[in-house]
């Protein structure tokens, strides 16, 4: 496996895009994707309520606007729903604490290997 | 005065920009300008807190973001701090209920005439 990881590291993208996802794996991936997205959105909803509650002066309004714009763009960029890039998406989500490795249980070793590799980058 | 208003109506912009503002009138105008701006900003702060309190789903977040962006642009556009355009600014603010005519007391009749004329457009 160490050899395989080292070999993947040379052309990780090309091989990653050719991975085959079984129907079960697709279901696991979609569930994990939706779970992380839901967590992200709930965090933004909670933070928005906190920030709005603390608005005391006009500059706080525009700071809230910037926060929302930044979060919307980040979420749009991060949650790329294509199986071909899911390993990268999941690796990022694990690094950011939005997903735990055990929530990807059910994916085959070829995907997990990519996810582990990228989440440690 | 009716004749003068009719005459101004033909070239209101050119003449308006040539009005002379005394130091006292400038102070009255600045005070009214700041008062209306403060009212606008306080309304946005109150509405933001209400909207944030009602956030239940992600789409509410992006609706709040759009509201803030629209209000910021509207305020930037509306509050043009140049004496040459103050009569138009005040006329708009009166039309929108942000200023009352009596809050412009102290301005000379030449300015009030423009403001009345434009606020009825």
Contact B78, B92 (CB under 8 A): yes
- CB pair distance less than 8 Å for B65 and A51: no
CB B33 within 8 A of CB B89: yes
Q: Which residues in chain B are closer than 8 Å to A53, comparing Cβ atoms?
A: 49, 52
Answer whether A44 sits within 8 Å of B65, measured CB to CB: no
Q: What is the 3-state secondary structure (H, E, C) of A8-72?
A: HHHCHHHHHCCCCCCHHHHHHHHHHHHHHHHHHHHHHHHHHHHHHHCCCCHHHHHHHHHHHHHHH
Quick one: pLDDT band at residue A12, thresholds 50, 70, 90? low
Q: Do B61 and A52 touch (CB under 8 A)?
A: no
Per-residue pLDDT of A25-58, as tens digits, reads: 999 999 999 999 999 999 999 999 999 999 999 9
CA distance B49 to chain A (A): 5
Q: Please, are residues B61 and A68 in contact by the beta-carbon 8 Å criterion?
A: yes
Which token pair is B112?
């009030």
Q: Is the pLDDT of residue B1 over 90?
A: no
pLDDT at A3 > cutoff 50: no
Contact B99, B86 (CB under 8 A): no
CA distance linking residue B38 with residue A94, whole number of Å: 45
Res. B5 pLDDT band, cuts 50 70 90: very low
Which residue, chain included where needed, has tokens 């009005």?
B19
| pLDDT at residue A17 in the model | 78
| pLDDT at residue A102 greater than cutoff 80 | yes
Band (A13; pLDDT cuts 50, 70, 90): low
**pLDDT value for A8:** 45
For residue B83, what are the contacts with CB-CB under 8 A and spacing of at least 6?
A: B19, B21, B26, B29
Length of chain A equals: 121
In sequence order, which residues have a C-beta less than 8 Å from that of residue B51 and are 6 or more positions away?
Answer: A52, B60, B63, B64, B67
pTM: 0.82
Query: Within chain A, how many helices (H) and strands (E) appear?
Result: 6, 0
What's CA A50's distance to the chain center, in Å? 24
> pLDDT category, A5, cuts 50, 70, 90?
very low
Task: Please write the tens of the pLDDT for every residue from B84-112.
Answer: 999 999 999 999 999 999 999 999 999 99
Looking from the CA of B100 toward its CB, the CA atoms found within 13 Å total 2
Least CB-CB distance to A48: which of B41, B45, B64? B64
Distance from CA of A48 to the nearest CA of B (A): 7
Q: Which of B34, B37, B43, B48 should we substitute to test contact with A (largest number of A Cβ atoms within 10 Å)? A: B48
Q: State residue B33's pLDDT score.
A: 97
- From A108's Cα to the closest Cα of chain B, the distance in A is 32
* ipTM for the whole predicted complex goes beyond 0.90: no
């Amino acid at each position: 496996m160490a050899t395989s990881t080292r070999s993947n590291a040379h052309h990780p993208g090309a091989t990653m895009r050719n991975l085959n996802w079984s129907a079960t794996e697709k279901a696991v991936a979609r569930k994990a994707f939706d779970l992380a997205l839901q967590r992200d959105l709930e965090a933004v909803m909670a933070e928005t309520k906190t920030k709005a509650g603390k608005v005391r002066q006009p500059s706080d309004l525009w700071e809230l606007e910037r926060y929302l714009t930044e979060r919307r763009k980040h979420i749009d960029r991060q949650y790329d729903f294509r199986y071909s890039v899911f390993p990268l998406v999941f690796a990022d989500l694990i690094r950011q604490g939005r997903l735990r490795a055990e929530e990807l249980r059910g994916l085959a070793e070829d995907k997990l290997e990519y996810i582990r590799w990228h989440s440690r980058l």
